[in-house]
Structure 1
Amino acid sequence: MQLKVQNSRAADIDTIFEFYDMAIAHQKKVFNKHWQGFSRALVETEIAENRQYKILVDGVAACVFAVTFNDELIWGARDHDLIYIHRIVTHPEFRGYSFVKEIIKWARDFARKNDIKFIRMDTWADNEKLLAYYTSCGFDYVGVVTMEKTEGLPKHYEGISLSLFEIAL
């Protein structure tokens, strides 16, 4: 099995949105909250800025994720020296491949090359299954933030509480 992390291209945008639709359907089955969809312009910008990625398994898109380098609305004063991972979606046929651990390996390498000190992510504060999974992948739980300002964030951030995770490098 050959696994490869690479930047998504403009030609991948429909596939990315298919993954998001699969994720929303799965979230509706297994949890009481779900994503509310994403703007095509947001994803186009991420692709243009080389912040949208895909994981290929033997040449087949198996997982997508995006990164950013600031997230002040969520991290406040701690919003520095970081790579923030978000919107990880694994195709249902590839569940169980531990892609979060692969993304962490990739992020550690990226951070080392770019003088970044933290890998961070968040999830809904009451999603016990994901909280346990992220800590099992090596993230430290660093607390909860309740969203007050959400302008510029996707709709599902309105009024929610998020658990915050980081790996200090």
Structure 2
Amino acid sequence: MRICSAQPHDLAKLLAFRKEAAAWLSRLGTDQWQRPYPADKLLATIEAGEVFMVRDGNDTAATITLTPKAEEGLWTTDEVQEPSLFINKLTVARTHAGQNLGGRLLDWAGDRGHRAGAEWLRLDAWTTNTSLQAYYLSHGFQYVRTVLLGNAVNGGPRVSGWLAQRATSPAAHGFTDETSTPERLA
């Protein structure tokens, strides 16, 4: 399997991929990702070079967004000053479930972060999805805190504010990495 940067022509595929994941999450009993993701926001992250796809032949097996930008209201001023990369929208196709692709993507992200000069790999997860939280903890992330208020859209309750982090480090992830060398963090 190979990992590559998503391109603008991948937008429809990635939106369908997220819709598939939302349906699966709904069947598990969580309301995570039930609102459609804005296409313009996804396209902006693709164009910024922050969206990556795992390809298995012609199939998209998984995707991850990796950005140096912290979502407003989640991390403290001191934490934002620390060199970090932030994980968003990690998704594995149901056809490829059970192959540890998510864990390998987390290792790839930690390795990429290390090469970019990041100290931390950070994420926020759905506050009510305890299975997802346990998944990240089982992959070496340490719980930081849960932020319940301060949704960037309306100042109301936040649904994705369970924060965790792990140190970046070189890692063997097993993907053929077709991405460009990461830019060094300032």
TM-score tier (shorter): 0.7 to 0.9
1:39-118 paired onto structure 2 within 5 Å: 39-71=38-70, 72-77=72-77, 78-80=79-81, 81-118=83-120
Query: Which piece of structure 1 moves more, 74-83 or 85-94?
Result: 74-83
* Pairs aligned (count): 163
The structure whose residues are more often helix, as a share, is 1
The structure whose residues are more often strand, as a share, is 1
> Which AA in structure 1 matches 2:80?
D
- Distance in 1 between residues matched to 2:149 and 2:100, nearest whole Å: 29
SS of 1:129's equivalent in the other structure is: helix
2:152 to 150, 158, 166: 150
- Distance in 2 between residues matched to 1:84 and 1:158, nearest whole Å: 23
**What per-residue deviation string (whole Å, max 9, x for no partner) do you get for residues 53-79 of structure 1?**
101123421111212212232213222
**What per-residue deviation string (whole Å, max 9, x for no partner) do you get for residues 145-169 of structure 1?**
1131413xxx9x9513521110123
- Distance in 2 between residues matched to 1:39 and 1:128, nearest whole Å: 25
> Which AA in structure 1 matches 2:67?
T
Residue 165 of structure 2: aligned partner: 166
Mark the runs of 5 or more structure 2 residues left unpaired by the alignment.
169-186
- Distance in 1 between residues matched to 2:7 and 2:126, nearest whole Å: 29
Q: Which has the higher contact order (CA 8 A, sep 6+)?
A: 2
> Which AA in structure 2 matches 1:11?
H
- Distance in 1 between residues matched to 2:29 and 2:13, nearest whole Å: 24
1:7 to 5, 9, 13: 5
- Distance in 1 between residues matched to 2:36 and 2:162, nearest whole Å: 21
CA contact (8 A) 1:5 1:106 kept: no
> Which AA in structure 1 matches 2:15?
F
- Distance in 2 between residues matched to 1:15 and 1:135, nearest whole Å: 29
> Which AA in structure 1 matches 2:100?
S
The CA deviation at 1:137 is: 1.1
**What fraction of aligned residue pairs are identical, expressed as a percent?**
19
- Distance in 1 between residues matched to 2:44 and 2:118, nearest whole Å: 22
The two structures have a TM-score, normalised by structure 2, of: 0.80
